């Protein structure tokens, strides 16, 4: 079922999104060689508590942490670890913030120190693909218009788009309808309407789009071990166009 939100509810989600965005800005300053994703996860727990919010991912279908921390070939849902990040790594930090029962979801990929030109370009193209998807998030378009904008840009730059994980509706629960694939033909899928709130969260890979899941049941990696990056915003569809609720 698709749950349309009132402008008051969207304001509540925007308040959650503002905390999330500010938290990402802090993380950007913390990321450097030597820090662990465990420490970042601890930081996020404290930051959210100080701001009257809670980490919605913790306990979601048994997921054990506040954040997902996905390093290099990990596509998504990596566990925070006590192993230090190394110069040249890329790491995606993903979290869902709950403020007074309303949610916002945003993932961001970060470079650790200086990264290779290949990694840097992957980050740039993935971030740009998110914004091209967001441009299509207007009432009257269809989900497929978002999907197509992302996939065509990614493929023009030689990258593949992950298929196993999609964006989604969000509100008082993390995953609602509609689902938002980051690949597929334009003009298809559910019609976008004012009051819909969705995530757009493209994961782009240097090699194959195929994923494998680790023994922990969560960590999704590229099958060929090549790099993967992800950027995600929570977007409201409004009369004035797409409104980014997690804008940094
Ligand atoms: N934030 C994720 C998303 O973008 C959801 C994470 S699933 C969890 O859809 F179990 F890790 F919480
Ligand atoms: Co997310």
38-41 contacts, C-beta under 8 A, 24 or more apart:
38/80, 38/81, 38/82, 40/67, 40/69, 40/80, 40/93, 41/65, 41/66, 41/67, 41/69, 41/80
Q: Is residue 176 lining ligand 1, measured as CB closer than 6 Å?
A: no
Residue 1 pLDDT: 82
Residue 175 Cα, ligand 1 centroid: separation in angstroms?
Answer: 9
pTM to 2 decimal places: 0.98
Residue 68 Cα, ligand 2 centroid: separation in angstroms?
Answer: 8
State which fold the 7-244 domain adopts: Creatine Amidinohydrolase (3.90.230)
Q: What value, to the nearest 5°, has the Cα angle with vertex 245 and ends 244 and 248? A: 80
Length of the chain as a residue count: 248
Residue-range domain boundaries for the chain: 7-244
Atom of ligand 1 nearest to the CA of 94: 1
Q: What is the pLDDT along the chain (248 residues), one digit of tens a residue?
A: 899 999 999 999 999 999 999 999 999 999 999 999 999 999 999 999 999 999 999 999 999 999 999 999 999 999 999 999 999 999 999 999 999 999 999 999 999 999 999 999 999 999 999 999 999 999 999 999 999 999 999 999 999 999 999 999 999 999 999 999 999 999 999 999 999 999 999 999 999 999 999 999 999 999 999 999 999 999 999 999 999 999 99
Residue 68 pLDDT: 99
Residue 38 pLDDT: 98
Q: Is residue 77 lining ligand 1, measured as CB closer than 6 Å?
A: yes
Residue 8 Cα, ligand 2 centroid: separation in angstroms?
Answer: 23
């Amino acid at each position: 079922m698709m749950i349309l939100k009132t402008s008051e509810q969207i304001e509540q989600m925007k308040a959650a999104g503002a905390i999330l965005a500010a938290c990402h800005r802090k993380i950007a300053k913390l990321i450097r060689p030597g820090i662990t994703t465990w420490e970042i996860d601890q930081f996020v727990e404290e930051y959210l508590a100080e701001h009257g919010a809670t980490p919605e991912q913790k306990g979601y279908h048994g997921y054990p942490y506040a954040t997902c921390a996905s390093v290099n070939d990990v596509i998504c849902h990596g566990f925070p670890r006590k192993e230090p990040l190394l110069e040249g790594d890329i790491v995606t930090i993903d979290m869902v913030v709950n403020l007074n029962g309303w949610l916002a979801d945003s993932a961001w990929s970060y470079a650790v120190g200086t990264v290779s030109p290949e990694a840097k370009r992957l980050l740039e193209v993935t971030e740009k693909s998110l914004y091209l998807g967001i441009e299509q998030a207007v009432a009257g378009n269809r989900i497929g218009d978002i999907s197509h904008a992302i996939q065509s840009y990614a493929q023009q730059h030689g990258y593949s788009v992950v298929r196993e994980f999609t964006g989604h509706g969000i509100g008082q629960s993390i995953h609602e309808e509609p689902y938002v694939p980051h690949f597929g033909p334009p003009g298809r899928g559910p019609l976008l309407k004012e009051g819909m709130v969705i995530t757009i969260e493209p994961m782009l890979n240097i090699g194959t789009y195929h994923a494998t899941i680790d023994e922990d049941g969560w960590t999704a990696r590229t099958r060929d071990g090549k790099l993967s990056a992800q950027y995600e915003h929570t977007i409201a569809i409004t009369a004035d166009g797409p409104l980014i609720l997690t804008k940094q």
